[in-house]
Amino acid sequence: MQNTNKVIEVELWRDVAGYNGAYQVSSMGRVRSTDRVIKVTNGQRHLVGHIIQPHDNGLGYMQVNLIDTDHKLHAMLVHKLVLDTFMPLSADESQTLTDIDHIDSCRSNNRLSNLRRVTHADNLRKEHRMNQIRHACIAINEEGEIVLKAKSMTAMAKLLGVSQSAISAHVNSGKPLATGLTVARDNDTDAKSGKAYLNAHVNTSAIVKTYGSCLWLAEYPDYLVRTSPDYNYFPSMDGVAIFQFTSMYKAGGLDGNVDLTGITKTGYTTASKKQAQTNVKKAQATKKAPFKVVKYSQRGVFYPSRTLAVRYTDSDKVSQIATYYKGERVTYNAVIIEHDFVWARYTRSNGLYGFIKLGVTNGHDYGKRVTY
């Protein structure tokens, strides 16, 4: 017999403090006004309650405007209304649990079950970790060529069929994956970078044309103390003379820089300058490389969520030789990532290879992929 049990989330409503029952917030993150009578100049006015549509405050957080009894407008964050109403803090707790965390990192999901109180330090640590995960990244082969690009570490993990934590660990360590690919951050897509700001506000091409390599550019992942440059963050643009890799060199908030011109007299030897220039050239060369087909061995099981054609090679231009339907499974032994699609290769019952699409490259999946 089929199990038809379902989990039903009950929506609870409570009054928002300080508004004399004029507004309520729910455990599902919704806010509404209530039916009420207000005084006006020529008597009374009856107001019908309704759901208040929130708006983005510009930082991704949902906000509503509430009016108090003195007719003053207050912009209120929905997630704060929810927790302050359903889980108010004691005086002692409010001294330490100053921040609110969205557990799933979706700032528009303001259900009570998705919110929790945290310290400011814990919130900053999670935000830093999430920024790293959201950062666009590239996969580089053993020849130093860029072969894949993804909008985030999560997207890269999906492309390669590995866990996001594995991608994150390899990015931080610089070590290649079992596929032979090295994953690094793609800083050309970072809108918060010094490069992006300069390109948006300054005609750097004209400056470099007139004065040569003269730009002093800062690029770094965080504000942690670091004593050596991370060339994954080198700004790949013409005219860079000094690369500032941190604003927290050792201690005390000093800048850390790599001089590519030789104008400094201390801190960099001829050898270190030459090595820095070599690292920079390698970073720039890999970022300019075109998309290439990636093939690697990987064993796993694919469960299609739709009807999919099987081809005798990884191309739609060849004839269909079989079909897999939703609910079936195929055990594959290799993955091919092309510009448009990700393919899996498997061995058919006749001993020949068959190829089936796993999904769209940097797009939606055609089923569930489980590796082992």
- Which residues are CB-contacts of 14 (< 8 A; sequence separation ≥ 6)? 24, 25, 26, 85, 86
Average confidence score pLDDT of the chain: 82
Structure tokens at 334: 């290799």
Q: How far apart are CA 175 and CA 179, in angstroms?
A: 11
pLDDT of residue 191: 41
What are the structure tokens assigned to 201, written together? 């506000």
Q: Give per-residue pLDDT as tens, 200-225.
A: 677 787 888 888 888 888 877 666 67
Strands 240-249 and 215-218: parallel
Report pLDDT for 45.
Answer: 82
pLDDT at 288 > cutoff 80 = no
Q: Which residues contact 349 (CB under 8 A, 6 or more apart)?
A: none
Q: What is the pLDDT of residues 138-171, one digit of tens each?
A: 888 877 777 888 888 888 888 888 888 888 888 8
Rounded to an integer, what is the distance from CA 184 to the centroid of its chain?
Answer: 14
pLDDT tens, residue by residue, 229-256: 777 677 767 788 888 888 777 655 678 8
Mean pLDDT, range 45-59, rounded to an integer? 89
Q: How far apart are CA 57 and CA 77, in angstroms?
A: 8
Q: Rounded to the nearest 10 degrees, how much is the dihedral formed by the CA atoms of 238, 242, 248, 250?
A: 130
